[in-house]
A = this chain, B = another copy of it.
Amino acid sequence: MSDILIQGATVLTMEGHDCIFKEGEIAISGDSILSAGPKGSAPEGFKPGLVLDGSGMVAMPGFVNCHTHAAMTLLRSFADDLPLMMWLSDKIWPIEEKLQPDDVYWGTMLCCLEMIKSGTTTFADMYFMMDQVARVVEKSGMRACLSRGMIGVAPNAQEAIDESIRLVEKWHGGAGGRITVMFGPHAPYTCPPEYLRKVIGLAGRYGVGVHIHVAETKDEIEQIQAAYGTSPVRHISRTGLFELPVLAAHCVHLDQGDIEIIAEKMVGVAHCPESNMKLASGISPVAKLLEAGALVGLGTDGAASNNNLDMMEEMRTATLLQKVSTGNPMVLPSYETLKMSTSNGALALGLPGVGKIRKGMKADVIMVNFHRPHLYPKHDLIAHLVYSAQSADVDTVIINGEVVMEGRRVLTLDEEEVLFEAQKRALKLVGEK
């Protein structure tokens, strides 16, 4: 891994709306940013092994995808336009039962390939056979926060806990520090309080966080209300879970009291607008969450309910949906939206060293090519990123100081091999020839 100098790019630091260096420079040493500033700001004597020309490009933190089920790329566009329970029980679950470790490996490979090509440098995943996922993260060069999804009411509830413990012991801090692990109790309606308390004890003992689905659908609200007489957020809060670092996916159906708990307990929200829209789950009150001071990141959810892993698209959908649903075009302005997909997403994953371009931060940098018709004229680059850009504009991706994509060519994975293997396994799974 040689030291890198990015020259001539417009550097968008995410340190503040106007903290942009028009003709900037980023020096990267090892896995971290050594300096970021205007032209000529790299420390004297810095001898990069690689100089990247950023002319016409914007260099910025890579995107943080706060909620995925990576291997579900294999089921992309396999079942659409269906109600959630029919989608799950008739289509998704029967296939997932057949999944073999190699399927999870290649599905996750496809996911990582797509994420790198769309500028995502970090993702939070919840699935199973997580050893396979960790292997792909190691190979692809990505940064990831991994959780073994645990269903407390399933026959394998204890096995899932054992696997989670092994995942923490084997992979937390692994792949050169690029992998962190969280416990992954699926949701309050699939994990009874005693199971959650077991998880709380373990997460506390290992010093890791918890990734959980919360308040995704109206059905869940009704179920939790019937069983515990309160909302999912209050119910979870009573178990003590929110005393740990928590990444809460969806958070669609919240009342003001829920919002205040989420803000006060510094729960990281993984907002997944496209999945929530596609499954008609509802609209998360993100503007209210932000007003209450909550920490909100963005996620795509799995590719089977999105159907891609495109964080630029997710940003645009997030802000447009808040504007129309609140009737206020001023909510979620472009910079706030960009924070959700970068610096605030990283915080939601418990990664304060990621998501900004600043000395000492991890060197997760993407370069976006602005020499595109849809990014002209150049009035406002932040609005361009949120409202106009597309992920194919991402030219170069650096993660942890390593160049993972250059000129749209992914260097860590064999793209043709990944497409071939994913296609083969997907068709086998769904029973086509």
Binding site for B on A (CB under 8 A): 73-78, 80-84, 87, 110, 113-114, 117-118, 274, 276-283, 303, 306-310, 313, 316-317, 320-321, 323-324, 326-330, 332-334, 371, 373-374, 376-381, 383-384, 387-388, 390-393, 415, 418-419, 422-423, 425-427, 430
Measured between beta carbons, the chain B residues less than 8 angstroms from A426 are 376-377, 379
CA distance in complex: A427, B278 (Å): 39
Would B282 and A324 count as touching, CB distance under 8 A?
A: yes
A310: which of B76, B80, B82, B390 is its contact (CB, 8 Å)? Answer: B390
A391 with B390: CB separation less than 8 A: yes
Q: How far is the CA of A280 from the CA of B87 in the complex (A)?
A: 31
CB distance from A48 to the nearest CB of B (A): 30
A419-B371 CB under 8 A given contacts A391-B390, A426-B377:
yes
Task: Report chain B residues within 8 Å CB of A316.
Answer: 274, 313
Task: Report the copy number of this chain in the oligomer.
Answer: 2
Complexed CA–CA distance, A235 and B379 (Å) = 40
Most B C-beta atoms less than 10 A away, residue of A80, A282, A303, A415: A80
With A and B bound together, what is the CA distance between A329 and B277 in angstroms?
8
CB proximity of A309 to chain B, nearest CB, Å: 7
Across-interface contacts of A329 in B (CB, < 8 A): 81-84, 87, 278-280
Contact B321–A277 (Cβ < 8 Å): yes
B residues in contact with A334, CB < 8 Å:
80-81
| Closest Cβ neighbor of A116 among chain B residues | B373
A80 in contact with B333 given A307-B384, A376-B423 (CB within 8 Å) = yes
Nearest B residue (CB) for A430: B379
Q: How far is the CA of A392 from the CA of B281 in the complex (A)?
A: 30
Partner of A280, one of B74, B274, B324: B324
Closest to A111 in B: B373
Return the contact of A422 from the options B84, B113, B303, B377 (Cβ within 8 A): B377
Q: List chain B residues, Cβ under 8 A from A393.
A: 392
In the complex, the answer to whether A387 meets B278 with C-beta atoms within 8 Å is yes
Residue of B nearest to A112 (CB): B373
Is the CB–CB distance between B309 and A374 below 8 Å? yes
Q: Judge whether B323 and A278 touch: CB under 8 Å.
A: yes
5 nearest A-B residue pairs (beta carbon): A377-B426, A392-B392, A77-B383, A277-B320, A307-B387
